[in-house]
Amino acid sequence: MACDARHGDCFPHYRQPLTVTGVEGNSSTQARGQPMRIFYLEDNPLIAMHVEQLVEDGGHVFAGTASSFEELRERFDTLVMDCALVDIDLADGHTGPQAVVWLKERGVPSIFVTGQSQVAEEYRDVAVGVVPKPISESLLSEKLRLLASVVNNSD
Asked, for residue 62, whether it belongs to a domain, the answer is yes
- We report the CATH number of the domain holding residue 114 as 3.40.50.2300
CA distance 74 to 113: 22
CA distance 10 to 13: 9
- 90 exposed, middle or buried (CB, 10 Å; 0-12, 13-18, 19+)? buried
Instruction: Give the number of domains in the chain.
Output: 1
Asked, for residue 7, whether it belongs to a domain, the answer is no
Asked, for residue 24, whether it belongs to a domain, the answer is no
Asked, for residue 149, whether it belongs to a domain, the answer is yes
Asked, for residue 95, whether it belongs to a domain, the answer is yes
User: What local confidence, expressed as pLDDT, does residue 33 receive?
Assistant: 59
pTM of the model: 0.79
Task: Please answer whether residues 153 and 25 qualify as being in contact, where contact means their C-beta atoms are separated by less than 8 angstroms.
Answer: yes
SS3 22: coil
pLDDT in tens, 49-86: 999 999 999 999 999 999 999 999 999 999 999 999 99
* Segments forming the whole domain that contains residue 133: 34-154
Q: How far apart are the first and last CA of the chain?
A: 47
Asked, for residue 65, whether it belongs to a domain, the answer is yes
pLDDT in tens, 16-32: 333 333 333 323 344 44
